[in-house]
Amino acid sequence: MRAIGGLWRWRHNPLCRATDLAEAWVALAALLLILLAAPLIGVLVGGAAQDALQQAVRNQREARHLVTATVVRKLARSPLEPDPESASAREARSRVQADWTGPDGTSQHGTVMASLKSPHPGDHFGLWTDGQGRIAARPLDTATATAHAVLAGFGATALSAGFAEGGRRLIVWRMVRRRYARWDQAWERAGPDWGRTGTGS
């Protein structure tokens, strides 16, 4: 709004310099970019991220399978990082030796993290595997993918607005430096005779 007010104030002012008007136009252009272009960029980036992430969700759901594993024995605790894509990262998990059958019918055996508080031999739990029965991460869920897409859109909007404001500041800074340089040149030309007019020297 200051840009619009600045343009109106300088419109018919006899003291208006070309640089003053240029600064007001630059401010108006930056304001329009922030209000119109930045949200549009955010929507486009968010939409593209949503499409890509939802495709990743579909691909992961096709490639990963939830099978039932059976506890063979519980193992000692190990400080392992929780799965960052998991919606239930805080739930109790235990390290166990387990047997399971892969989607292709192969028998598998190995050390896994079971979603059981106190597992006993023979207990069953769900385990994510790939098509050959190898352990895989839990697939990304739709809600998490959408949240990431929204964050990408907001980030793109903020970044675009920051670039517009940064560009405005850089342009105004260069204009001010150029103005000061011209003033310095004018002072250098007027300097030797400054204050001597009419003194007869």
Burial 133-165 (b: 16+ CB within 10 A, else e): bebbebbbeeeebbebbeebbeebbeebbebbb
Position 90 scores a pLDDT of: 47
User: In the beta sheet, which residues pair with residue 74?
Assistant: 96
Position 196 scores a pLDDT of: 58
| Confidence label for 87 from pLDDT (cuts 50, 70 and 90) | very low
Residue, of 134 and 2, whose pLDDT is higher: 134
| Confidence label for 147 from pLDDT (cuts 50, 70 and 90) | very high
Residue pair 129/103 in contact (Cβ under 8 Å)? The answer is yes
pLDDT tens for 46-81 read 999 999 999 999 999 999 999 999 999 888 765 554
Position 41 scores a pLDDT of: 96
CA 98 vs CA 65, 72, 120, 131: distances in Å: 17, 5, 11, 18
Percent of the chain with pLDDT over 90: 48
pTM score over 0.75 = no
Copy the structure tokens of residue 200. Answer: 């007869």
SS3 sequence, the chain?
Answer: CHHHHHHHHHCCCCCCCHHHHHHHHHHHHHHHHHHHHHHHHHHHHHHHHHHHHHHHHHHHHHHCEEEEEEEEEECCCCCCCCCCCCCCCCCCCEEEEEEEECCCCCEEEEEEEECCCCCCCCCEEEEEECCCCCECCCCCCHHHHHHHHHHHHHHHHHHHHHHHHHHHHHHHHHHHHHHHHHHHHHHHHHHHHCCCCCCCC
Sequence length of the chain is 201
